[in-house]
Amino acid sequence: MLKIHLLSLLVLGFTISVSPSNTKYELNYSRIKPGEKLFYTAHWGFLNIGSASTIVDNKLYKIGSTICYKIDVEGRTNGLAKMFYVRDKWTAYVDSSNILTHKSSRSIREGRFTLDEMVEFDHDNKKATVKVFDKTKKQFQIKKIYDTPENIRDIVAGFMVVRMIELDRTKKGSVFTINGFYEDEGYKIDVVYHGIEIIKVNNKSIKCHKIKPIVPKNSIFDGQNSIEVWLSNDEKQNIIRIKAKMFVGSILFELAQS
């Protein structure tokens, strides 16, 4: 059966939870707009199993001396998938000038499993301090302090940054290395740019850029080419579709409203 935790991971997309570490790829930071709202639907075969959203707050926030955007990402199951109860929320405060994460949190409600976690990023010293809410003491306690690569981003900032890569200036077949921090560890994955493809979403043809990560061997996804991502070939470069082939079928995420 479908694992509950898998849905929460795919709400953001395995590939869009990363950020480019190769500086030769130009980023267009102007694509992030305060007040932006994107809504997605999730399908497992013919079933509509859930929804997700990303919202950029209208206001700017200050973390230390850094002016930040506040970005919320939420995912939930619905309909027949309510038997796999999911109500998850991620929040990130990211530098408005370079989209580096300075503080992030996640509230996970999946079946009987709950988790409230906060991460504070120290970019000068390349550290990430992970705190978990202690239900007995009713406060956040330090779980561990991790070493991180330079210019690390959390899963939410990675969602935004992939949209900022100037894919129009990228040659088909190009590979770029990405890095990120998720679930207490850093990682690096290669992503291949597959050029332009026209797809149909909600009876509408959309010209898109297509990318694929080379997925490490795991027990969830079916092969290293099991995940595909399509981004609109326009100024916004929104993520339009994510398709993930698993050992128990495929999950499809599509943009429903922007």
Model pTM score: 0.83
Classify each residue of 228-252 as buried b or exposed e, where b means 16 or more C-beta atoms within 10 Å of its C-beta.
Answer: bbbbbbeeebbbbbbbbebeeeebb
The total domain count for the chain is 1
Confidence at residue 216, expressed as pLDDT on a 0 to 100 scale? 56
pLDDT at site 113: 86
CA dist 14 to 87, 138, 200, 220, Å?
18, 32, 22, 11
pLDDT digits (tens), the chain, 258 positions:
334 344 444 444 433 334 444 445 677 888 888 999 999 998 887 788 888 899 999 999 999 999 999 999 998 887 655 567 788 899 999 999 888 999 999 998 888 889 999 999 999 999 999 999 999 999 999 999 988 878 778 878 877 877 888 888 888 988 877 666 655 555 567 788 999 999 999 889 999 999 987 765 544 555 556 688 899 999 999 999 988 876 566 788 899 976
Q: Are 38 and 159 in contact (CB under 8 A)?
A: no
- Identify any residues that bridge with 141 across adjacent strands, giving them in sequence order: 132
Quote the domain boundaries for residue 126: 4-257
Calpha distance 237→162 (Å, rounded): 9
d(CA 215, CA 138): 38
